[in-house]
Structure 1
Amino acid sequence: MSARRRGRGGFPLHHEEHLGDHRSWRLLHARYLARPRSAKAGNSRLPVPVIFGHFALAAVGLVVWIIYVITDKGALAWTAFGLLVPVALLGFAMLARWIPVYRARSAAAAAGQQSEPAERYFPVPVVAGHGLFAVVTVLLVLLTALGIGGS
């Protein structure tokens, strides 16, 4: 019997490699949620309904897309695309609110502000990668719904 090295949760180490994507998502949200919030209004520029709506619509779109892949019904591809449009709009709204907060990072540090928005600590590569994958996903779903590149 070979002794395999085990990682967190008792999984063999080669299984942990596949969990990397989930870890980056959890890291992004954990950093956002772990930051203390003061009672002042405007502590965060990302409203909870926008964040939840972005996530919920993306999750529903993913489920619809999986059903499309299984059934190959064109209406489901268009439904998935229709769900991605508001997901993208909410994502752009969050990006537009995040950019000034991130740019104000050095000004806030110089002023010694105690109350800083949690989203200021989102890692730029994670935000950029999320946006890049989102654009590619929307384009691929649109091309598939149009029947371009199909067999």
Structure 2
Amino acid sequence: MGLVAIVTWLITAMLGVYLLYLWLSGGGPRRQAAKVTRFPVVLVFAHPALALCALGCWIAYMLTSGRAFAWLAFGVLAVSALLGFTMFTRWLGAGRHARGAERRFPLVAVLLHGLAGLVTFVLVLLTAAIATGL
């Protein structure tokens, strides 16, 4: 299950890179300075940075079987997921209809990124719980 989590993590990351590319190419940081976007730059970059840190912890867990790494990965991933959910709700609220760079996000890409992220989250939680005998 741990390797499946890595695969879904990578799928999620690829979709996220695509969305980040759309946001950056649509002038995201410039629009943020002009208060047109609903996505603060810190939020946009903290979400993937935390997800990458969590992935690093997960890889450490896979290499060492250290349960602490599994739970650390889950905790950091949970924070990243909350930031992602925050962006999703802002996008649903008016972001996709606003003048911001996020208006360019295809609904399918956003939904697939969120679904893959949710599957990854559940797999990491289940694997960490099984590893510790919960």
Q: Same fold (TM over 0.5)?
A: yes
Q: What amino acid is aligned across from residue 71 of structure 1 in structure 2?
A: T
TM-score, length-normalised on structure 2?
A: 0.78
1:141 aligns with 2:124: yes
**More deviation, 64-73/38-47:** 38-47
Give every structure 1 segment of 4 or more consecutive aligned residues whose post-TM-superposition deviation is greater than 3 Å.
Answer: 20-27, 36-41
Deviation per residue, 1:58-115 (Å, 9 max, x gap): 000001101100101111100000101110110111001111222x36xxxxxxxxxx
Q: Percent identity?
A: 42
RMSD over aligned CA atoms reads: 2.4
**Matching residue of 1:80:** 73
Deviation per residue, 1:7-50 (Å, 9 max, x gap): xxxxxxxxxxxxx9877544322221122445874211000111
1:91 aligns with 2:84: yes
* Number of residue-to-residue matches in the alignment: 119
Which of the pair has the greater relative contact order for Cα pairs under 8 Å at 6+ separation? Answer: 2
> Which runs of no fewer than 5 residues in structure 2 stay unpaired?
1-10
* Bigger CA radius of gyration: 1
TM-score, length-normalised on structure 1?
A: 0.70
Alignment of 1:43-122 (within 5 A): 43-99=36-92, 100-102=94-96, 104=97, 116-122=99-105
> Which runs of no fewer than 5 residues in structure 1 stay unpaired?
1-19, 106-115
1:127 aligns with 2:110: yes
1:38 and 1:70, CA in 2 relative to 1: closer, same or farther beyond 3 A? closer
Q: Which has the higher helix share?
A: 2
Candidates 22, 30, 42, aligned match of 1:31: 22
Q: What amino acid is aligned across from residue 77 of structure 2 in structure 1?
A: L
CA distance in 2, matches of 1:40, 1:24: 25
